[in-house]
Amino acid sequence: MKNLLRTAVLAASACLAAPMALAAGGPLLEKEVEVPRATRIPLDMAWEKCVLVDVETQNDPNEKLVQAAKDHDPKDLTFLLVRFRYQNTDWVDHRVRLRAVLLDASGNVLADAGRMGTMDKGQTSDTLSFPMKLKTVDWPNAVKMKVTASFLK
């Protein structure tokens, strides 16, 4: 009876683990870069024939907006647009889960955002973008961006 029960438990756990193993897909890539303020920051994060080339931000608050937020509304929010350029020279589309986290000098999280997207086959220069909500007064304190890419099947 113990052997039968043990076999049933092992079979059930194998059935539950199989879909997770198949859904796992490719690797989890991480990289910490400077905050992209005025220029694109190179990433060169590659898996198979997919490459995340660089990252940039748009709609950055300028000094005047930061000072106005400090003086009048410290809870003021800015929506940055985080844009990744990629290349996919493969013959198939690849799914990727992107995440970007803004960190201050002490490593504290100031803002984070992410999205799932498809890296279209045969693209030599395309983009994946998403908004990131950030307190306007925190923008000058952001010194690093941690980028995470999970490739899915």
Task: State mean pLDDT over 82-105.
Answer: 96
What are the pLDDT digits (tens) for 138-153?
999 999 999 999 998 6
pLDDT at 14 over 60: no
Residue with tokens 């693209």: 123
Task: Give residue 8's pLDDT.
Answer: 45
Task: State mean pLDDT over 35-41.
Answer: 93
What are the pLDDT digits (tens) for 105-135?
999 999 999 999 999 999 999 999 999 999 9
Contact 150, 97 (CB under 8 A): yes
Token pair for 119: 């890296």
Sorted by where each starts, the structural domains of the chain and their CATH numbers stand as 25-152 (2.60.40.10)
Task: Give residue 13's pLDDT.
Answer: 52
What are the pLDDT digits (tens) for 45-77?
999 999 999 999 999 999 999 999 999 999 999
Token pair for 153: 């099947």
From CA 94, how far away is CA 48, in angstroms rounded? 10
pLDDT at 17 over 90: no
Task: State mean pLDDT over 15-39.
Answer: 73
Looking at per-residue pLDDT, the higher value among 101 and 38 belongs to: 101
pLDDT at 6 over 60: no
Task: State mean pLDDT over 27-43.
Answer: 95
Task: Give residue 26's pLDDT.
Answer: 76
Contact 146, 132 (CB under 8 A): no
Residue with tokens 């059935």: 15
